[in-house]
Copies of this chain bind each other. A is one copy, B any other.
């Protein structure tokens, strides 16, 4: 891939991205995949098992960068397909407004959301998925847990960077926080 192509497609060389990461906050999207019943009520939450930015293996939600020139909706769809496979059939919300924003900082204490690599502002969405989910890419596994299980101490312990808290915010938004 030539440099010109890289710029046009939004992909950046590692050192270039590293340099930018020290200068501006990056735009991210976070997606909490859910199973819903006929009335839209959330019955299960999808948790990936993946290698995190800090090297640990953790339960995590779908998360990734918005590229230069990319629509937020397209970034959401791209990251959902990357992590859940091509037949997950995600149902993106009709509103472009995230249910909350997550401010990740290299320092753990500023907002409670932590990413050692960067300052990122993430738009968070709850996304029902109807199809078969096949953890692909860097994800090792995908588990579906009930809202009750999602707020348990066990799941909290397995999540890093504040993702356990984001999960509770998502359940609150969906009206099913226990």
> In the complex, what residues of B have CB within 8 A of residue A171's CB?
172
Given the known interface contacts A36-B94, A39-B92, the answer about A119 and B71 at a Cβ–Cβ threshold of 8 Å is no
Chain B residues near A55: list those with CB within 8 A.
none
Residues of B within 8 A of A69 (CB): 105, 119
A73 at the interface (CB under 8 A from B): yes
Residue A15 at the B interface, CB < 8 A? no
Are B111 and A174 within 8 A (Cβ)?
Answer: no
- Determine whether the beta carbon of B101 is less than 8 Å from that of A72: yes
Decide yes or no whether A169 CB sits under 8 A from chain B. Answer: yes
- Say whether B7 contacts A173, CB under 8 Å: no
Per-position 1/0 for A109-136, Cβ under 8 A of B: 0110000000101010010100000000
Task: Out of B24, B110, B174, name the residue touching A94 (CB < 8 Å).
Answer: B174
Contacts known (A27-B25, A172-B169, A175-B100); A93 close to B92, Cβ less than 8 A: no
A105: chain B residues at CB < 8 Å are 69
Those of A159-173 within 8 Å (CB) of chain B = 165, 168-169, 171-173
- B26 and A24 contact, CB distance less than 8 A: yes
Q: Is the CB of A98 within 8 A of B99?
A: no
- Please name the 5 residue pairs, one residue from A and one from B, whose CB atoms are nearest each other, closest first: A172-B172, A40-B92, A39-B73, A96-B175, A94-B174
